[in-house]
Amino acid sequence: MSSNFPPTLRATHCPLCYEPLEVRDVAPCMDCGHLVDLALTGKYTYAEYRYSGDLSLVLCNFCLVDFASYDPDYFGLPHGTRIDLGCFQFLRDVPMTITKDKLCAACGHRLPFLEFVLRVRELHGADED
């Protein structure tokens, strides 16, 4: 029997490390949104960006600039690949709201970010065939 819920609501475990997911209050940023206390300072703005075709990601102004600090291996990209602001196309501003979402405490990210990482890894793997 299949559920009518979207896959993200049915998910019970992290798609990367398979640890159980927790439901928490989150801010819009899919990278650091679980750090609600920081979001409530009012120092952050949020926007949705397109990355590589149909992939999109909501990031705060800090995480957008800091994205280049990720090891490209984490995303399945070749060693030495630069991830910079040019990789992202602005789509729209996103208002600051606090909602509930799933989080992997082990990975330290919201489920949408973990799914983004998984899709980028799959996308790159498909390019290697």
At 3, list the tokens. Answer: 């559920």
* Structural domain count of the chain: 1
Does any domain span residue 82?
yes
Measured at the alpha carbon of residue 57, what is the angle toward residues 54 and 61, in degrees to the nearest 5? 140
Does any domain span residue 67?
yes
Distance CA 28, CA 6 (A): 19
C-beta separation of 36 from 25 below 8 A? yes
DSSP 28: S
Q: 90: which strand partners? A: 49
Measured at the alpha carbon of residue 24, what is the angle toward residues 9 and 47, in degrees to the nearest 5? 80
Does any domain span residue 4?
no
Amino acid sitting at position 48? E
pLDDT value at residue 2: 39
Does any domain span residue 54?
yes
Write down the pTM of the prediction. 0.83
- In sequence order, what DSSP letters do the residues of 4-20 get, joined into one string? SS-HHHH--B-TTT-PB
Does any domain span residue 72?
yes
Range of the domain at 114: 27-124
Does any domain span residue 13?
no
pLDDT value at residue 5: 38
Mean pLDDT by runs of 10 across the 129 residues of the chain is 48 93 94 87 93 89 90 86 83 95 93 93 65
pLDDT value at residue 85: 79
